[in-house]
Structure 1
Amino acid sequence: MHVEVKWLNWDTFIVPLEDRDLIPLVQEASKRMYQVIGGTGYARVDIRVRPNGELVILEINPNCGILFYGPDDRSVSDLPISWDKDGHDGFLDRIFRSAILRHRLRSNK
C-alpha cells in the first residue's frame, strides 16, 4: 500500500482539513517543529488530525524531495507545491532567493 499511495495513486488517502479553525494550530505546530530542528530552507511536516481535533505530528522532513516533473507525473511529496499560489516555479524561486539571502546575511557577520 505504501507504494500505491506514495507513487502510483497519491490521491488515495489525501483528506482535506475540514475544520478551518485547526489551520493556525497546524501552522504553529509546524513552525515550532521546524525551529526545534534548526531548519533552514524548507520542510514538509506530516501531521494527522484525530477525530477529537488533536494534532499528531508524525515527522518533519527538512529539505524534502521536490520531484515535480509535471501535473501527471508527481508524488505525494509534491502535494504542498501543487497548492502554492505561485506554482512549482514560484516555490523553487523562493527557495533559491531565501538561500541567497541567508548566505549574504551570514557573510556580513
Structure 2
Amino acid sequence: MSGTEPAADLAALVRPGAVAIVGASADPTRIGGRPIACMLRAGFRGAILPVNPNRAEVQGLASYPSVADLPQAPDVAVIAVPGAAALQAVEELGARGTRFAILFTAGAFVALRRE
C-alpha cells in the first residue's frame, strides 16, 4: 500500500462467516486437518468448507472436490497444499471473491503481484 488507500477491512479475517480448507485432511494431526479440528473443537459457528478432491467427507463435514464446487465464497481460506497447487488455489479463491488466505505450503511458490 502506498499509504493513501484506506486500510483493508479485517472483520472478515477475524470473524469470518465461512472458512475453506484447501487440502483438507481427515487426520486432525496433519496440517490440512488441524484447522478443521480446532474450529470444530472451539465451536466455530460459521461454515467450514473442506476442499479435497479425494473425499466426500472430512472430519464429519461435507467435502468439495475443488474451489469452484464450494457452495459459497469463503471469507478466509487456509491453503495446505504443495506450492504449485497453492498458487492455483489462491487464483481460484480470488476469482470467487475470497479476501484472505493463510498458506501452509512447501516447494516452489510464485508470489502474485497485482498492479
Of Structure 1 and Structure 2, the greater helix share is in 1
Greater RCO between the two (CA within 8 Å, min separation 6)? 2
TM range (shorter): under 0.3
Of Structure 1 and Structure 2, the greater strand share is in 2
Using the size of structure 1 for normalisation, the TM-score is: 0.24
Using the size of structure 2 for normalisation, the TM-score is: 0.23
Tell me which structure has the larger Cα radius of gyration.
1
